[in-house]
Structure 1
């Protein structure tokens, strides 16, 4: 087999591979000899089929299998022998001339094909000890825990039907029909609905208009859906709801005690407080982790600047762009609605794709150097977490991951990234900084993610 480099521009490589017809013939003869002892053809005793007849019957199909085997196996071995790593699956190109292809399959012509690929860039890892990270921390007060416990307890509050007008805090049980331009709209009707006045769970202005209603009343409620309403087809629209009040109930006393906790399946109110504190800590802990990770990735991004494989960047951009455009379509919005243009958005998300690819390569290299590994047990836990999200379809999801190596690889990548981040955080300087809840939960630009293809 003859291997010739025909292109080496930056990270781009093109390799011409020539497999002589004599090599193809040798492989074919080996296969024919193996088949001779097993072939059962009418008119011939086992093992006595003439080679010429075997070749006539199976030679062409066997040669096609040989060619496919060469195409499947050669790229990996050629690239490895060159001490290179391909950024993506190499592209294989061969003759499209049917006559030439026939000659190859008949063993009359050398098999020539070309590999095209981009190599992963080589770069030196830099010392991370100089990186300084501020870890934002929120001190959780007893008052905050108690407020959250009270909000949870509200769901267990009892109500007692009363005579008279509804006040703030009362529960109104009603039926309603919502209309836009006097036409009922999907999702705007209910025969049985309850609303606690003052809870602010309905459209702004809806609850205020029910203050003073009594059982048996009929009332028209006029509202305007918010511009950012979750259902795009209703956003900004004026609507009228025809209300029929079935009953009004007053709230019972809200007592934070063990009896209340037991209605939630807990042994005591202190246990409820403990669980609430843990939930808040977990929520804040996730936000802290994201802030710290963002700082770390920002620091790495400033430290590295090297040529990126174009196709890897293009694949990442297409992934991001597909999500962006799908979200716009879902919300019936345009780029102009987001105060930008498609051209500006394209440039912005391409920069994001480049950042993610660069950081992915850096984190992958750091992880390799540190010996970071993802265990089978960790992968199994990740699969289990995915399965839990689809109750009733557990077996189908398990089968999907069992038969889809690429799906398992997609789970492995973020696990690997987080372990590399943990490794780095143990080597950089991290200092804690007490911040408010609002400061911690403030959204940053969604640029922190890095896709690691390890």
Structure 2
């Protein structure tokens, strides 16, 4: 195989591989001779089929296989010798593909962008701030009050009392559209909290002032974007029977409340809440530390970037942001979305940091364990209740999905490794100061 360089500009590489026809023919003959003893054909004993007939019967397929093996082998040898790491799959085109015939040399053009050499970075020169937020009494009490509200109970009001906002009414109802009852529009003994906005807009308002035993006709209109298309935008009438009017009972923050949430007593529940709050604060503090770490790396390390990776990342960013701005579009049947200069700038940062973190992780021998991958798959599977087994099988058969799950784990472990080498100062702050720091991240 003869190799000639055709391009070496920046990270772009181009080569022309030429496989002489004589070498290709010799490879085909060798493969046919190797297979000949095992070949059986009508009219001939096993192993006695003439070479000419073997070549006529199997030659074209073996020729194609030999050509592919030769090109793949030459490309692998070239990459091993040059040390190049293609940023994306190399483009391989047969120069004389349309006119090539057996007996001609095979000429193949190969092009790719090489990954750039990644400069060393002194990780000890990074200065990071690790924020710590203790769970304050006020935050714990606020969480307890929210739990009490969620465990709220209702007690019967005095006979004849009119329902008011915040009360619970127990009703039987049946809905009609165009005079016909519709599926899913009927229920008995339904507990509805007025003002909860859990029903169609306007429904709950018409039950304010109702008393136990009242029959109330509720007239509403389904929203234009209602989940059931056959009801969307339709006028509806609900015949309601009020069977009880109840007022909210003030929940007591005590040991009984704690037991409702699986704690032994109130002190134990407070400790659980404190632990959960501090875990949430730690997650936010980590995000702040990680942003600072990435910002400093982005500032310190500069190198050439493969245009193909930057372009692909910019298109992905533009596409993702477009869908966030147009949430009503769930498919991809839309026009081309061209990245802006801002998208390209962000793409350059992501590609640069991605390559840098990958290099640092590789040198530090950072790996993602099977256990960590299993936990990631389990977390992702929770998004598909009832279809977990199908999701597991899908992940096992899809390398791209496995990489999507593995990448953030690898990145977090590399960030941890870098933080261990950096100068880290711990600082205790309030919840409000932490929230301001998180808000600042979104503004960048």
TM-score, with length taken from structure 1: 0.80
- Structure 1: give runs of 5+ residues left out of the alignment: 334-341, 448-454
Question: Which residue of the other structure, out of 146, 149, 169, is the alignment partner of 2:141?
Answer: 146
Aligned-residue offset at 1:9: 1.0
**1:40 match:** 40
**1:115 match:** 110
Q: Which moved more, 1:56-65 or 1:244-253?
A: 244-253
**2:81 match:** 81
Question: Which residue of the other structure, out of 369, 372, 376, is the alignment partner of 1:382?
Answer: 376
Aligned-residue offset at 1:359: 0.6
Aligned residue runs from structure 1 range 278-317, under 5 A = 278-317=275-314
Distance 1:137 1:201, change over 3 A: farther
* Residues 213 and 245 in structure 1, CA contact (< 8 A), matched pair in contact too: no
Distance 1:194 1:443, change over 3 A: farther
Say whether residues 1:421 and 2:408 are aligned partners: no
Aligned residue runs from structure 1 range 338-417, under 5 A = 346-417=340-411
**2:127 match:** 132
CA distance in 1, matches of 2:145, 2:186: 29
Distance 1:327 1:178, change over 3 A: farther
User: Which whole-Å deviations, capped at 9, do the CAs of 1:345-385 have from their partners, x for residues lacking one?
Assistant: 72222211111001101111222222222223322332233
User: Which whole-Å deviations, capped at 9, do the CAs of 1:159-180 have from their partners, x for residues lacking one?
Assistant: 123241234542244669899x
Say whether residues 1:436 and 2:431 are aligned partners: yes
CA distance in 2, matches of 1:176, 1:295: 58
User: Which whole-Å deviations, capped at 9, do the CAs of 1:200-247 have from their partners, x for residues lacking one?
Assistant: 878999978865443437487999x9xxx999x9xxx9x999795734
**1:23 match:** 23
Aligned-residue offset at 1:91: 0.8
CA distance in 2, matches of 1:141, 1:115: 63
Secondary structure of the corresponding residue to residue 330 of structure 1? coil
User: Which whole-Å deviations, capped at 9, do the CAs of 1:258-278 have from their partners, x for residues lacking one?
Assistant: 433444444434443333223
CA distance in 1, matches of 2:201, 2:269: 32
CA distance in 2, matches of 1:159, 1:2: 86
Aligned-residue offset at 1:92: 0.7
Aligned-residue offset at 1:140: 1.4
Secondary structure of the corresponding residue to residue 247 of structure 2? strand
**2:152 match:** 157
Q: Which moved more, 1:4-13 or 1:187-196?
A: 187-196
CA distance in 2, matches of 1:276, 1:176: 42
Distance 1:202 1:396, change over 3 A: closer
Say whether residues 1:5 and 2:18 are aligned partners: no
Aligned-residue offset at 1:73: 3.9
Q: Which moved more, 1:140-149 or 1:111-120?
A: 140-149
CA distance in 2, matches of 1:30, 1:256: 86
Aligned-residue offset at 1:125: 1.8
**1:338 match:** none
**2:325 match:** 328
Aligned-residue offset at 1:282: 2.3
Aligned-residue offset at 1:401: 2.1
* Residues 71 and 92 in structure 1, CA contact (< 8 A), matched pair in contact too: no
CA distance in 1, matches of 2:261, 2:75: 61
Distance 1:123 1:196, change over 3 A: same
TM-score, with length taken from structure 2: 0.82
Secondary structure of the corresponding residue to residue 351 of structure 1? helix
**1:171 match:** 168
Secondary structure of the corresponding residue to residue 116 of structure 2? coil
* Residues 214 and 245 in structure 1, CA contact (< 8 A), matched pair in contact too: no
**2:91 match:** 91
* Residues 368 and 410 in structure 2, CA contact (< 8 A), matched pair in contact too: yes
User: Which whole-Å deviations, capped at 9, do the CAs of 1:307-353 have from their partners, x for residues lacking one?
Assistant: 210111122122222222223332479xxxxxxxx87x722222111
* Residues 194 and 205 in structure 2, CA contact (< 8 A), matched pair in contact too: yes
Distance 1:128 1:203, change over 3 A: farther
CA distance in 1, matches of 2:147, 2:185: 28
What is the Cα-based RMSD across aligned positions, in Å?
3.7
